[in-house]
Amino acid sequence: MVSTTVERSEMTQSLPACRSCGKHGLQLVLSMGRMPLANAFLTAEQLHGPEPSYPLELAFCPRCTLVQITKTVPPEELFSNYLYLSSCSETMLRESKELAEQLIESRHLTPKSLVVELGSNDGYQLQYFMSRGIQVLGIDPARNLAQIAAAKGVRTLCEFFGKDFAIDLRARGTSADIIIAKNVLAHVADLNGFVDGIGILLDERGVAIFEVPYVKDLIDHHEFDTIYHEHLCYFSLMALDQLFRNHGMNLVDVQRIPIHGGSLRVYAAHDSYGEPRDSVRSLLQNEMQWQMNDAAGYVGFAKEVEKIKKSLRRLLEMLKSDGKRIAAYGAAAKGTVLLNYCGIGDDLIEFVVDVSPYKQGCYIPGVHLRIDSPSKLLEEMPDYALLLAWNLADEIIKQQAEYLQRGGRFIVPIPEPKIVGGA
């Protein structure tokens, strides 16, 4: 049964204007009702207590093209104790090692260089620079993650990054040759202060590298479960270009990468750095053709999302009526959104499994499904497992080859429900 949550509108700030350009007149793209916080996993003792929920609406700014949600949850409530560990994903670790090696070679980094990561999580990215003798500094507001990183020897400051903090670091003689922020910019309420801080901390010849889920892929592939309260913004390149230009910085390179259902890796530098590569100009031109500067480019998204919701529920209900047992794999934030938005609870799903030991024994927000170790998948052998962490489908399916060999099947919900495995 899907639980009800209490409203917490008194702790949520309405967005009076665009987070980037400050203009009014946002245009609604999708309303998902009220949602619990996607990463606010519950203990057994918390199951019967009040659980906050917040409005979740996606909107488009016709002035600067930024796609964003319309409410802000206090960041202290979201990030002070954070259970998402990047090191739990082999895909994330492999991609992080490749990025470190590429930057070390292309930027000619030495032991005198300093790499700073904003939202450094458990040190998963910086460890690959450390292993090559390069100085690192992690900045992350989650105390539990900062402690895990420090235990690995990754120097980490437990702070929220912004303009004032960057000024303080610079006053202490800190200047970054490389700044990395992977899936962080979308979490920032004060975008302008954050980008200001990057400009202050970054050396005049330094480069800042950002990874953000690409709004084009989100719309094209109907990735509605990527929308949650931690993700305040959903970026196009033109929205990023305008944001950084407003703070004396240019985008000098961009790559489209497959991680997280489709992301942009963007390289930014000071105005004095030089001209952007053709990759930037080409993608900006493409976005104009795709109408990403116009609300028309987002028409139809809400209808496609509703179709997925209905078809996924129909599929699960049909399987259940045939006597099939169904579990779910991956207690990702996107799983919280998908289960709650589609109204999928213990009437359809028996349990959830996840590789993170920090989530095992906890319960999914809103729907209150228990999270267990992946070993339970083989112990119980449900007929189907709904793949909530579909962005890591290849990795998970490879890891769970025995489950498939013994007759289990995965249900991949995005971009449309499909069954993997079986005859």
Give per-residue pLDDT as tens, 350-409: 999 999 888 999 999 999 999 999 999 999 999 999 999 998 888 899 999 999 999 999
Flag whether 249 is in a domain.
no
What domain range is 331 assigned to? 301-420
Flag whether 27 is in a domain.
no
Flag whether 325 is in a domain.
yes
CATH number of residue 361's parent domain: 3.40.50.720
Ramachandran area for residue 61 (φ above 0: left; ψ -120 to 50: alpha; else beta): beta
> How much is the average pLDDT of 240-267?
93
Cα(147)–Cα(126) distance, integer angstroms: 14
The bridge status of strand 27-35 relative to strand 52-60 is antiparallel
Give per-residue pLDDT as tens, 65-103: 999 999 888 877 776 555 555 555 677 788 889 999 999
Question: Environment class of residue 33 by beta-carbon count within 10 Å: exposed (0-12), middle (13-18) or buried (19+)?
Answer: exposed
Residue 248: CB atoms within 10 Å: 12
Confidence at residue 11, expressed as pLDDT on a 0 to 100 scale: 40
Confidence at residue 322, expressed as pLDDT on a 0 to 100 scale: 97
* Residues whose CB falls within 8 Å of the CB of residue 131, separated by 6 or more in sequence, listed in order: none
Give per-residue pLDDT as tens, 36-71: 999 999 999 999 999 999 999 999 999 999 999 998
Flag whether 101 is in a domain.
no
Residue 254: CB atoms within 10 Å: 23
The bridge status of strand 352-353 relative to strand 326-329 is parallel
Flag whether 231 is in a domain.
no
Structure tokens at 271: 């105005």
Confidence at residue 10, expressed as pLDDT on a 0 to 100 scale: 39
Percent of the chain with pLDDT over 90: 77
Flag whether 348 is in a domain.
yes
Flag whether 51 is in a domain.
no
Flag whether 67 is in a domain.
no
Cα(412)–Cα(158) distance, integer angstroms: 37
Does the pTM exceed 0.75? yes
The backbone torsions φ and ψ at residue 60, rounded to the nearest 5 degrees and listed phi first, read: -120, 135
Please name the helix (run of DSSP H) or strand (run of DSSP E) that holds residue 306, with its range, or none: helix 301-321
Asked, as a colleague might, if the bond just before 213 is cis with ω within 30 of 0, I would say no
Cα(209)–Cα(199) distance, integer angstroms: 12
Provide the domain count of the chain. 1
Considering only CA atoms, which of 280, 70, 269, 260 is closest in space to residue 184?
A: 260
